[in-house]
A and B are shown apart, each in its own frame.
Chain A
Amino acid sequence: MTANATENGTPILQLRGINKSFGPVHVLKQVNFAAYPGQVTALVGDNGAGKSTLIKCIGGIHPIDSGEFLFEGKQVTVHGPRDASALGIEIVYQDLALCDNLDVVQNMFLGREQTTSIVLDEASMEERAAKTLKSLSVRTLRSTRQLVASLSGGQRQTVAIAKAVLWNSKVVILDEPTAALGVAQTEQVLALVRRLADQGLAVVLISHNLVDVFQVADRIAALYLGQLAAEVKAKDVRQPQVVELITTGRTEGVESELPTSVDEGVTA
Chain B
Amino acid sequence: MSAPTVDVPDSPAELTRSPSLGEYFRSYVDRVRGGDIGSLPAIFGLVVLVIVFSLLRPVFFSAGNFANLLTQGAPITVIAMGLVFVLLLGEIDLSAGFTSGVCAAVLATLLTDWGWSWPLGVLVALAVGLLIGTTMGSLVARVGIPSFVVTLAAFLAFQGTVLLIIGEGGNVAIRDQTILAIENKNVPPVWGWILWAVSIGAFAALMLMQAQRRRAKGLAAEPMAVLAAKVGGLAVLTGIAVYVLNLERSRNALVISLKGIPWVVPIILVLLVVLSFVLGRTAYGRHVYATGGNAEAARRAGIKVANIRTSVFMVCSTMAAVGGIIAASRANSVDPNAGGSNTLLYAVGAAVIGGTSLFGGKGKVRDAIIGGAVIAVIDNGMGLLGYSAGIKFIVTGLVLLIAASVDALSRKRAHATGRA
Do A and B associate with each other?
Answer: yes
Q: Mask for B1-40, Cβ within 8 A of A = 1, else 0?
A: 1111001110111011000000000000000001010000
Interface assignment of A262: CB less than 8 Å from any CB of chain B: no
Interface assignment of A235: CB less than 8 Å from any CB of chain B: no
A110 contacts B4, CB within 8 Å? no
Chain A: minimal CB distance from B173 (Å): 42
Q: Which residues of the other chain, A, contact B303 by a CB distance below 8 angstroms?
A: 110-111
A110 contacts B2, CB within 8 Å? no
Closest to A141 in B: B15
Q: Which residues of the other chain, A, contact B294 by a CB distance below 8 angstroms?
A: 97-101
B301 contacts A112, CB within 8 Å? yes
**Alpha-carbon distance A143/B13, docked complex (angstroms):** 10
A152 contacts B283, CB within 8 Å? no
A139 contacts B8, CB within 8 Å? yes
Interface assignment of B251: CB less than 8 Å from any CB of chain A: no
Q: Which residues of the other chain, B, contact A82 by a CB distance below 8 angstroms?
A: 302
Q: A101-B361, A142-B9 are in contact. Are A155 and B1 (CB under 8 A)?
A: yes
Interface assignment of A127: CB less than 8 Å from any CB of chain B: yes
Q: Which of A128-180 contact B (CB under 8 A)?
A: 130, 133-134, 137-145, 147, 149-150, 152, 154-155
Chain B: minimal CB distance from A30 (Å): 30
Chain B: minimal CB distance from A187 (Å): 9
Q: Which residues of the other chain, B, contact A140 by a CB distance below 8 angstroms?
A: 1, 4, 8
A110 contacts B286, CB within 8 Å? yes
Q: A110-B303, A115-B283, A127-B217 are in contact. Are A101 and B362 (CB under 8 A)?
A: yes
Interface assignment of A268: CB less than 8 Å from any CB of chain B: no
**B282 contacts which of A81, A118, A127 (Cβ < 8 Å)?**
A118
Q: Which residues of the other chain, B, contact A145 by a CB distance below 8 angstroms?
A: 220
A134 contacts B12, CB within 8 Å? yes
A127 contacts B300, CB within 8 Å? no
**Alpha-carbon distance A100/B281, docked complex (angstroms):** 19
B297 contacts A98, CB within 8 Å? yes
**Alpha-carbon distance A142/B264, docked complex (angstroms):** 44
A110 contacts B219, CB within 8 Å? no
Q: A123-B213, A143-B220, A188-B4 are in contact. Are A111 and B293 (CB under 8 A)?
A: no
Closest to B361 in A: A101
Q: Mask for B349-364, Cβ within 8 A of A = 1, else 0?
A: 0000000000001100
Q: Which of B280-326 contact A (CB under 8 A)?
A: 281-283, 286-287, 289-290, 292-294, 296-298, 300-303
**B418 contacts which of A96, A150, A182 (Cβ < 8 Å)?**
A150
Interface residues on B, range: 35 or more
Closest to A129 in B: B15
**Alpha-carbon distance A76/B236, docked complex (angstroms):** 64
Interface assignment of B420: CB less than 8 Å from any CB of chain A: yes
**Alpha-carbon distance A106/B293, docked complex (angstroms):** 12
Chain B: minimal CB distance from A10 (Å): 30
How many of A's residues come within 8 Å of B, CB to CB?
46
Q: Which of A177-204 contact B (CB under 8 A)?
A: 182, 184-185, 188
Interface assignment of A72: CB less than 8 Å from any CB of chain B: no
Interface assignment of B142: CB less than 8 Å from any CB of chain A: no
B282 contacts A119, CB within 8 Å? yes
Interface assignment of B235: CB less than 8 Å from any CB of chain A: no
Q: Which of A242-264 contact B (CB under 8 A)?
A: none
Closest to A104 in B: B15
A102 contacts B290, CB within 8 Å? yes
Interface assignment of B218: CB less than 8 Å from any CB of chain A: yes
Q: Which residues of the other chain, B, contact A102 by a CB distance below 8 angstroms?
A: 286, 289-290, 293
A147 contacts B12, CB within 8 Å? no
Interface assignment of A124: CB less than 8 Å from any CB of chain B: yes
Chain A: minimal CB distance from B101 (Å): 33
**Alpha-carbon distance A102/B302, docked complex (angstroms):** 16
Chain A: minimal CB distance from B8 (Å): 5
**A101 contacts which of B1, B11, B217, B293 (Cβ < 8 Å)?**
B293
Q: Which residues of the other chain, A, contact B283 by a CB distance below 8 angstroms?
A: 113, 115, 118, 120
Interface assignment of A126: CB less than 8 Å from any CB of chain B: yes
Interface assignment of B230: CB less than 8 Å from any CB of chain A: no
B2 contacts A152, CB within 8 Å? yes
A124 contacts B4, CB within 8 Å? no
B15 contacts A101, CB within 8 Å? no
Interface assignment of B392: CB less than 8 Å from any CB of chain A: no
**A97 contacts which of B34, B287, B297 (Cβ < 8 Å)?**
B297
Interface assignment of B214: CB less than 8 Å from any CB of chain A: yes
**Alpha-carbon distance A155/B289, docked complex (angstroms):** 21
Chain B: minimal CB distance from A112 (Å): 7
Interface assignment of B419: CB less than 8 Å from any CB of chain A: yes
A139 contacts B12, CB within 8 Å? yes
A100 contacts B4, CB within 8 Å? no
Chain A: minimal CB distance from B83 (Å): 18
B15 contacts A133, CB within 8 Å? yes
A134 contacts B293, CB within 8 Å? no
B217 contacts A184, CB within 8 Å? no
A149 contacts B16, CB within 8 Å? no
Q: Mask for B323-358, Cβ within 8 A of A = 1, else 0?
A: 000000000000000000000000000000000000
B292 contacts A110, CB within 8 Å? no
Interface assignment of B399: CB less than 8 Å from any CB of chain A: no
In the A-B complex, the 10 residue pairs with the smallest Cβ-Cβ separation, listed nearest first, are: A111-B301, A101-B293, A99-B293, A97-B297, A101-B361, A134-B12, A111-B302, A110-B301, A113-B283, A149-B420
Q: What is the interface of chain A, defined by CB distance below 8 A to chain B? A: 81-82, 93, 95-102, 106, 110-113, 115, 118-120, 123-124, 126-127, 130, 133-134, 137-145, 147, 149-150, 152, 154-155, 182, 184-185, 188
Q: What is the interface of chain B, defined by CB distance below 8 A to chain A? A: 1-4, 7-9, 11-13, 15-16, 34, 36, 213-214, 217-220, 281-283, 286-287, 289-290, 292-294, 296-298, 300-303, 361-362, 414, 417-420
Q: A123-B213, A137-B12 are in contact. List 10 more A-B contacts (CB 8 A).
A: A97-B301, A99-B290, A101-B420, A111-B303, A124-B217, A127-B16, A127-B219, A147-B419, A150-B417, A152-B418
Of the A-B pairs whose beta carbons lie under 8 Å apart in the complex, a sample of 22, sorted by A's number, is A81-B300, A93-B300, A97-B296, A97-B297, A98-B297, A101-B293, A102-B290, A110-B290, A110-B301, A111-B290, A118-B282, A123-B213, A126-B214, A126-B219, A127-B218, A130-B16, A133-B15, A141-B15, A149-B418, A150-B417, A184-B3, A184-B4
